[in-house]
Amino acid sequence: MTKPQDDRMVDAYLDAYLQHHHDSVFHSLREIGVECFPALPSKFNRVNSTSKICLLFVAREIRDQVAQEFLLDVVRDSEEESVWKNAIEGLAYQALPDFLQKLSNVIRQPTVERNPKKVEYVEELLISD
């Protein structure tokens, strides 16, 4: 578990990345890894779609169950097509064990079933695998 000062450091890195998109900051966040959580999801909920996609690129580089659950939550909860598509692509990029089963479970949830484009996009991924 991260300490409050670590959370502030991660938050500062996330701010710097969103403002300047420097590769060095991206790589620092990737190196920090799972310690980016819970700061990354907290920041994600407070930014615009473009910034959300940038944060998804960071999350997908963190090949850990915590990042996978975050991406699955984004797939389930996001109504913005560009955002949920990037979360799905992040899950495929991570390719953690049983992600396809978890993704399949997510699209069966009532909130997701009401979005036929999202369901179709996931089904295409599931069929192509």
Q: Running DSSP on this structure, what letter comes out for residue 123?
A: H
Q: How many domains in the chain?
A: 1
Residue-wise pLDDT for 51-75, tens only, equals 999 999 999 999 999 999 999 999 9
Residues spanned by the domain of 91: 4-128
> What does 46-80 look like in DSSP terms, one character per residue?
TS-HHHHHHHHHHHHHS-SHHHHHHHHHHHHH---
State the amino acid at position 56 in one-letter form. Answer: L
Helix, strand, coil % (nearest 5) of the chain?
Answer: 80, 0, 20
Q: Length of the chain in residues, anyone?
A: 129
Residue-wise pLDDT for 3-34, tens only, equals 545 778 888 888 888 888 778 888 888 999 99
What is the C-alpha to C-alpha distance for residues 123 and 118, in angstroms, rounded to an integer?
9
